[in-house]
Chains A and B, each alone.
Chain A
Amino acid sequence: MVNVEICIGSACYVKGSSQVVNDLKDLLKQHSWEDKVALRGSFCMKACQEKKGLGIRINGKKIDGVTAANAREILEKEIAVALL
């Protein structure tokens, strides 16, 4: 099981993390990953303080440089790698 955590703290919410959750749900459906990937919300993970994009963790590992615009593309790759 791959764990994906998305920060929906106020700073990430303003930058569109709420929308990323919706995009990701789509993505899981599209690849039929729903049973293999657990999508979770998180309160502030302090990614905002490091200024390295939205707060997103895959299996506990922080993924840097994600924005609302590139989230789908980056996370598709990262989840595929994590599923191997």
Chain B
Amino acid sequence: MANMFSHEGRIFKFDVLVELARQAYEGEVEEAKIQGFARNLVRMDTPRVRCCVYKEREVLRQRVRLAMGKMASDTAEYNPRQIVQVIDAACDGCTIKKIRVTDNCRKCMAKACVAACKFDAMHIGTMRSEIDYSKCKECGACAKACPYNAIVVTERPCYSHCPVQAISWDENGIAVIDEEKCINCGQCEGACPFGAIEDISWVVPVVQLLKMGTPAYAVVAPSIQGQFDNTTLPQIMKAIEMLGFEKCIEVAIGADAVAETEYRELKEHKAEGKPLTTSCCPAFVNMLKIHFPKQYAENKSHTVTPMMAIARKLKKEHPDHGVVFIGPCLAKKQEAMQQSTAVDYVLTFEEIAALLIARGINPAEVQVDDPELYPSNYGRTFAQSGGVAAAVAQAAKEHGDGPYTMVQADGAFECKKQLTLMRAGRFREDILEGMCCIGGCIAGPASISDTPTVKARMTKENMKTDKKTIGQSLEIFSFDGVDMDVTHNV
């Protein structure tokens, strides 16, 4: 379990989390102490990727700040809304010239690039075509026109992966996130090859509360199933309980309730002729709220997310217990924690793996009995693209209703495209399922194993369930009296 990541930047981040978790479990948590300790991760003789050991230590210092729940930058004011942050020392500044002519240029007679340029920025130089960057508008027409593919368009990975143009850069080329536009989807974090974009973490207070014996439930996102090699869902859940949680509960139970409630909403929307957009992906909801306010008001489902559904149920039954959500998602941190909600803390799979390693718990070796009560496969499949719409359709079917037509927007750019169609009145289906990660939550930025592997493990394990319906699941797990409306502050 020690080497779970193939990306060196993630391994490094993970090492910091493991050390921090160890420290938090064993001693008092003081930043100065942890910084001193973390410095050992970058020794003078450690192989490095940056210019010098001092720069790497600065990167590390900012990483430790984030891991301790502080803003990466010392001068930034604390903003609980902003989960995804730039570690400026780690940012490479990347290529700033978007269009470049490469050695492939044959200085040909056709000069398609010159003809294609509408801004008079392209001319034939002595060796090859040359770009006058004072005139270039970075439209890319020359690159499309070149018959040799000699002109390349390079976009910074953070920028090209951001669906909402929230990333720009300062005069030194260092990435800057526009907090007004950012939807905390974490696509940039996954895309940056320098590990320069990271999320703020809450491992320290969670460990401190667990250590003090404060009663807490861990609620796990359905996408946790299949994250660890040779490990069943009950084993993972038991391993998490061993960290000090009173009980670990599947969020898929809440997903069953959400499918049922969202079906009822769908029926109302259909009667009014308005398409319904799903509510479970918080980055998709942020996209609606910030960038498509009209659709947010008219089309968005008012049902709470599965995480919130199960948390509200638990808080109603046990108000003195804390609820910690464990998922692959960064936007969930914002959903749960930017204001007081039924979810107290959010940890990622990465963070929970760090806690397990710090405590020496290997989920694959945990002994468990087969679970007696568990949700439907429909609830569990919320973790995969297409799963939410399928579950809502199933809920309709169980009521003898339907069929409804649906579109699955798989990934943030597809979400944006479908919402743009909806804004233009050209979305013709009944339901739009929006998921900002391609493949669904199982591809979340803080997931551990790769998406196809997780999907295969999940499908295999769920073949052995009793294939109950959503209705049967809700007979076992009652949501009577649980407020499922997201606009109500519970």
Interface residues of A (CB under 8 A from B): 8-11, 13-14, 18-19, 21-22, 39-44, 46, 48-49
Q: How far is the CB of A77 from chain B (nearest CB, A)?
A: 23
Which among B28, B202, B208, B214 is the interface contact of A10 at CB below 8 angstroms?
Answer: B202
Judge whether B212 is part of the interface by a CB distance below 8 angstroms: yes
Contact A18 B29 (CB under 8 A): yes
Contact A9 B344 (CB under 8 A): yes
Which among B78, B321, B345 is the interface contact of A14 at CB below 8 angstroms?
Answer: B78
Contact A41 B345 (CB under 8 A): no
14 more A-B contacts (CB under 8 A) besides A39-B212, A40-B212, A42-B209? A8-B208, A8-B209, A10-B80, A10-B205, A10-B337, A13-B204, A18-B29, A18-B204, A40-B213, A40-B214, A41-B212, A43-B323, A43-B344, A48-B340
Contact B345 A10 (CB under 8 A): yes
* Residues in A whose Cβ lies below 8 Å from that of B344: 9-10, 43-44
Judge whether B195 is part of the interface by a CB distance below 8 angstroms: no
Q: Of all chain A residues, which has the CB nearest B24?
A: A18
Contact A10 B212 (CB under 8 A): no
Which among B209, B323, B340 is the interface contact of A46 at CB below 8 angstroms?
Answer: B340
* Residues in A whose Cβ lies below 8 Å from that of B204: 13, 18
Contact B208 A18 (CB under 8 A): yes
Interface residues of B (CB under 8 A from A): 28-30, 69-70, 78, 80, 202, 204-205, 208-209, 211-214, 216, 321-323, 337, 340, 344-345
Q: How far is the CB of A10 from chain B (nearest CB, A)?
A: 5
Q: Of all chain A residues, which has the CB nearest B216?
A: A43
* Residues in A whose Cβ lies below 8 Å from that of B70: 14
Which among B205, B214, B323 is the interface contact of A13 at CB below 8 angstroms?
Answer: B205
Q: How far is the CB of B281 from chain A (nearest CB, A)?
A: 22
* Residues in A whose Cβ lies below 8 Å from that of B212: 21, 39-41
A42 to B205, CA, bound (A): 10
* Residues in A whose Cβ lies below 8 Å from that of B209: 8, 41-43
* Residues in A whose Cβ lies below 8 Å from that of B202: 10, 13
Which among A18, A19, A21, A44 is the interface contact of B340 at CB below 8 angstroms?
Answer: A44
A48 to B339, CA, bound (A): 10
A59 to B69, CA, bound (A): 29
Contact A14 B69 (CB under 8 A): yes
Contact A43 B340 (CB under 8 A): no
* Residues in B whose Cβ lies below 8 Å from that of A39: 212
> A9-B344, A14-B78 are contacts. A43–B29 as well, Cβ < 8 Å?
no
* Residues in B whose Cβ lies below 8 Å from that of A11: 80, 340
> A8-B209, A18-B208 are contacts. A42–B28 as well, Cβ < 8 Å?
no
* Residues in B whose Cβ lies below 8 Å from that of A10: 69, 80, 202, 205, 337, 344-345
Contact A8 B340 (CB under 8 A): no
* Residues in A whose Cβ lies below 8 Å from that of B321: 43
* Residues in B whose Cβ lies below 8 Å from that of A13: 69, 202, 204-205
29 pairs across A/B with beta carbons < 8 Å? A8-B208, A8-B209, A9-B205, A10-B80, A10-B202, A10-B337, A10-B345, A11-B80, A13-B204, A14-B69, A14-B78, A18-B29, A18-B208, A19-B30, A21-B208, A21-B212, A22-B30, A40-B212, A40-B214, A41-B208, A41-B209, A41-B214, A42-B214, A43-B216, A43-B322, A43-B345, A44-B340, A46-B340, A49-B340
A49 to B28, CA, bound (A): 28
Q: How far is the CB of A42 from chain B (nearest CB, A)?
A: 6
Closest 8 CB pairs of A and B: A43-B322, A41-B212, A13-B205, A41-B214, A43-B344, A41-B209, A8-B205, A22-B28
Question: Which residue, of A13, A18, A43, A44, has the highest number of chain B Cβ atoms within 10 A?
Answer: A43
Q: How far is the CB of B260 from chain A (nearest CB, A)?
A: 28
Q: How far is the CB of A38 from chain B (nearest CB, A)?
A: 10
A61 to B240, CA, bound (A): 33
Contact B205 A18 (CB under 8 A): yes
Q: How far is the CB of B31 from chain A (nearest CB, A)?
A: 10
Q: How far is the CB of B332 from chain A (nearest CB, A)?
A: 13
A40 to B213, CA, bound (A): 8
A80 to B289, CA, bound (A): 51
A48 to B337, CA, bound (A): 12
Q: Of all chain B residues, which has the CB nearest A21?
A: B208
A9 to B340, CA, bound (A): 9
Q: Of all chain B residues, which has the CB nearest A48?
A: B340
A13 to B345, CA, bound (A): 11
A18 to B212, CA, bound (A): 12
Q: How far is the CB of B79 from chain A (nearest CB, A)?
A: 10
* Residues in B whose Cβ lies below 8 Å from that of A22: 28-30
* Residues in A whose Cβ lies below 8 Å from that of B69: 10, 13-14
* Residues in B whose Cβ lies below 8 Å from that of A40: 212-214
A9 to B213, CA, bound (A): 15
